[in-house]
A = this chain, B = another copy of it.
Amino acid sequence: MQEKTINAGIVGGTGYTGVELLRLLARHPQVTVTAITSRKDAGTPVTAMFPSLRGFMDGLVFSTPEEAKLTDCDVVFFATPHGVAMNMARELVAAGVKIIDLAADFRLRDTAVFKTWYKLDHACPELLEEAVYGQPETMREKMKGARILGMAGCYPTSIELGLLPLLEFEKAHPGTFDLEHIIADSKSGISGSGRKADVSLITAEMADNFHAYGLKGHRHTPEIEQQLKLFAGTENVKLTFVPHLLPTIRGIHSTIYVRLKDASMELDLQGLYEKRYAGEYFVDVMPAGSTPETRSVRGSNFLRLAVHRPGNGDLIVILAVEDNLVKGAAGQSVQAMNILFGLDEKTGLDMPALIP
């Protein structure tokens, strides 16, 4: 067997994005997980908490961040709540360690906006300056030499990649779409709410149930609008984002509505999407007329898209599905790591979804 060349650390390994990183890295041919931290569970073997990893992570034990020797790693993933990565970033960057943050610390370019939504002063604005935010599909070139990656979140990835071809078209042909009334009606499986002891998440509450939340303002909205503006080349973008909690374990389905300003305009939407994503292995533009299912990406790094124009009217409806823990978090981060280390982007991620 080929020798593995990348030593990876994971900070905050007891949540769902953490264990998903472990699942994916367990089969990555170039990566050894050498450190995993959890202050609360320090001393516990990983396989005692996650028996599904028995046989794959047998020697690995949760340790405190202090004991973890993260500076010896080649790359450190932060699968933590926001506010952790930014406080450890300087030390790690100084030690030459690549940082991949799955939380929010390196997503918003504007520290004032960050403070408004997260109630924290940014701990390392100079590193935020150089950090690259987004997905491989939108930021691949910039990611290549980066020292810090702020990965796009689960909802944002589905909406940003769902809208990208339209917004790039708008940039080239300003005035095509009404960007001030974009609606994203998103539905997320419950693993998106995290692995936490919360009555509202227990099975007897959420199985056979469905509801919206976050209508007063969701932290993902500024992050998404920031990117949509970037793609469209205009500040005149306004998103109404309504997330809902779905009684599935995994899966995000975003139904996105954008109005054409000229109802009579002819536009080859299918062609536009297919062309934009022709070279993107992990973005699958489904045949015209499709309605992608969340299960079609379960456990995989694919995002599947379909674009509709019902009744040939002025409203475009985009359907985007992804696994919130894979393309929406851990998988996308491994994809980005592959870019950072010059590997084939598919390495360790090249597997179909688990259906049924």
Contacts and interface: CB of A to CB of B under 8 A. Distances in A.
A32 to B, nearest CB: 15
Contacts of A255: 185, 212, 242, 244
A265 interface: no
Nearest to A354: B299
Copy total for this chain: 4
Contacts of A295: 52, 208-209
A208 B55 contact: no
Interface in A185-216: 185, 187, 189-191, 193, 195-199, 201-213, 215-216
Contact of A181 (B27, B190, B315): B315
Most buried by B among A209, A244, A302: A209
Most buried by B among A185, A202, A250: A202
Nearest to A325: B356
B294 A210 contact: yes
A18 to B, nearest CB: 11
Contact of A203 (B185, B249, B299, B350): B249
A52 to B, nearest CB: 4
A61 to B, nearest CB: 16
A211 B281 CA distance: 22
A197 B198 contact: yes
A189 B294 CA distance: 16
A106 B200 CA distance: 32
Given A197-B197, A240-B317, A299-B354, 6 more contacts: A19-B355, A181-B259, A190-B207, A207-B247, A210-B246, A212-B291
Q: Across chains A and B, which 6 residue pairs bring their CB atoms closest together, nearest first?
A: A52-B353, A197-B197, A204-B356, A209-B295, A211-B293, A191-B204
